A and B are shown apart, each in its own frame.
Chain A
Amino acid sequence: MKQFEYARAASPADAVRRFEPGTMYLGGGTNLVDLMRLGVAQPDRLVDVSHLPLDAIEQDGDRLRIGAAVRNTDLAAHPLVRVRYPMLARAVLAGASGQVRNMATIGGNLLQRTRCGYYQDVTRPCNKRRPGSGCPAIEGDHGNLAILGASDSCVATHPSDMAVALAALGAEVHVTGPGGDRVIPMPGLHRLPGDTPERDTVLEPGDLITAVELPAPPPGPSIYRKVRERASFAFALVSIAAALDLRDGVVRDCRIALGGVAHVPWRAERAEQALIGGQATGEAFLAAAEAELELARPLPRNAFKVPLARNLIVRTLEELAS
């Protein structure tokens, strides 16, 4: 690990003031410290934002505001989240381990980096880590990488479970930074790799996530389901966050987001559009899934994710419809 300076921020404004090139914000540290030890992250300076008073979960009418420093455990255990946003509680509980959830913050969870093996190994090429060095995963180890929205530069996936639920819920990410405050609606925080895979998100240097605000929960039942070969403590092969609102067998509203398939938590808008206003039948669910997965460009060793995602969409919708 490279030597660095450490300072605790007194307030969000203080954190932003302390930011200069080479600075990184330290939240729970569960991914950043991991990446620093691997040599993937090499900050000159850490500004610790984990102690900022951003750790409240507050109700605001039918909305819920979650401070960026709220720990994953506390989010999933919060009575309002469990009752009103079960999809989110389940997504958080599906991620990592009890220990990691106790440490990891909401802001940090959103800003996790990919677990692609090439990205994590500084002795191998990776366009995300070293722009222009190449993407060996495309010909190599991509068994758990992206099938949707990938590019010739990068086939990484975003590892977060929570972000998938937030994408389905249409959460808003509150950011403060050198350019002032702004609000970024999910799933717009994360970006596809294109030819600049080094950028995971639309955040600018010095931007600090201060809160995540949830709109009123979508009507109807909701689900988060995660597929993995180890029964716990494993990243998703594919996961799904979905909500379905039916009236008289007709889909009034529908939210579908997929994890483990793309560089972003993938909001399945094509599938949603195909369903809304139509009959909630098995055929319609399959057609919607296939409409979405027409966009898939699988590689030889991750091609299984296409039938997996299709099955998961169909089965999840069937379950929500019943």
Chain B
Amino acid sequence: MTATEETAMTIGLAAEPASAGHHPAPATAARVVAALKRRRRWRPLEAVFWAATLASVLLLPSKHLILNEIAILGLFALSLDLILGFAGVISLGHAAFFGVGAYCAGLVATHGITEPLAGLAAAAALTALLGWATSYLVLRGTDLTRLMVTMGIALILGELANQMAWLTGGADGLQGIMMGPVAGWFEFDLFGTTAYAYSLSVLFVLFLAARRITNSPFGLSLLSIRDNPLRAAAVGVPVNGRLVQVYTLAAAYAGVAGALLAQTTQFVSVDVLEFHRSADVMLILIIGGTGYLYGGLVGAVLFKLLQDMLAGFTPQYWHFWIGIFLIALVLVGRERMVGGVAAAVRRLARRT
């Protein structure tokens, strides 16, 4: 199967009949529009997912703090999925945007603007600018170079944050962030309920936007770039332009995720720019899968819950169990593992 055919399969287009030859059938455009429309339709399982998420706000009041972290991590992973899963741009330095977003929101708050939404907007704007500027570095070269360049950018920013203690608080962290109520109404509480509802709303809105964007002709062109950039260029897709756009968008998403972390924990430390953040978010996508938007969200849920459970169970050795899980995941394969569980559930269901 060629790459372009793969793209066609992903969006649900039947392969061209061989007789069409060089001339695309006049109906192709109409078929693409119809396919995109089909993809945009909400599937029942998506509704179940979001209903479960909404239910967690009401039913799990004692878990809001970790759920808030999961929502933020999910948004961060969604941002990486936009470039990795849809445009095939691999990055090991995505924490750069996350961290800059966090510092931006934190600094906006310490300098007197305590309205959270204003902080979010500022963080999104700044990280979009940073994403746009660095995208030109990232576009040069192939995957390995990209890994190095993205990692380098994050490392440089991390060191800057460490050195510029007068601005960032250095290794002691940015202290004294006091957030005002969300939209002038909802105060952040000790239980994390406002924080979770706030992060979740932002995640949902940005998810909707990402869903719309990826299921558009723009999204299609990204998929074709991911599958075969040369071919995409040959059929007239402006490869570099598209990559710059999606990289900028993903940077803004990551910045918002960082800003949410800064606002809901009211604290920023150099840690937000560290390598392990970039690595974690990559792991999350490996766990959840790329290229269908839910991968990051599901991966974040599994990763954090697994981590929290194991760390509660054995605070010293939980890394070991996470490692075992990841190896099993990669060796057995996610689809097979989930398929096996699903088959077992079906068998059980039939028996009863």
Pairing of A with B: no
* B residues with CB within 8 A of A: none
